[in-house]
Amino acid sequence: MSRTKKDILPLNEEEENESDASDIESEEDEEKKPESDDENSVDDEEEEKDEELLLEREADKKMMEDFVSDNDASDVDDEDDEYEDELQKFKDYQVISSLEKQHPEIMQVNYEEVLLLSKVVRNVRGEIIDPLHTTLPILTKYEKARVIGSRAEQINRGAAPSIPVDESIIDGRIIAIMEFENKSIPFIIARPLPSGGIEYWKVNDLEVL
């Protein structure tokens, strides 16, 4: 059967309607496409920002860890140095205390104290009753040699003699012996005691045998 003109017209209208609908859908797709592209670009930017923030935080965290570790290491070094200093001080103290105990004569006393400690108290008979002078009041040969040698060295270095001396005598040892015989050597002898104390004697207060 052949179609009439009326039968053909609706088909053309349907085709036109379908083509119009497809055009509208394609336009909508084209409109949606830029929006999706914009959304993708925004998402990419946010991801990049997040990555940058993470990197910055990791860098800051690493810097803080390095700073703390350096401080801890410096604190440990300082503690080690303090411990070594204290140990060295303790060792020095032990050495000094041992030397002072075994050789009390090395301990320095001021001049006024030495003068007071060197005064000998005697009774009316000339006997020593001083508790600070208990050893024999006799000059030993070693003390004599030490006194004369030290005094001769002083005179040779320019010290003035304590007695009148002829200008022709220039030997310090001879002058020192002359001073010793005249009991005019201004020396004070320190005698260490077994108890750890020290006795101070003026040379002129000791007898020479």
Q: Which residues contact 121 (CB under 8 A, 6 or more apart)?
A: 128, 129, 130, 133
**Tokens representing residue 21 in the block:** 């609908």
Question: What is the tens place of the pLDDT at every residue in 145-179?
Answer: 999 999 999 999 999 998 999 888 889 999 999 99
Residues 29 and 82: their CA atoms lie apart, in Å, by: 78
Nearest-10 crossing angle of helices 141-156, 172-181: 130
**Cα dist from 200 to 34, 97, 107, 121, 137, whole Å:** 112, 21, 13, 13, 11
144 neighbors 208 (Cβ within 8 angstroms): yes
Answer whether CATH 3.90.940.10 is correct for domain 109-205.
yes
Question: What is the tens place of the pLDDT at every residue in 42-85?
Answer: 666 777 777 777 788 787 777 777 766 666 555 556 666 676 77
Question: What is the tens place of the pLDDT at every residue in 86-100?
Answer: 767 767 777 777 776
Q: What is the pLDDT of residue 139?
A: 93
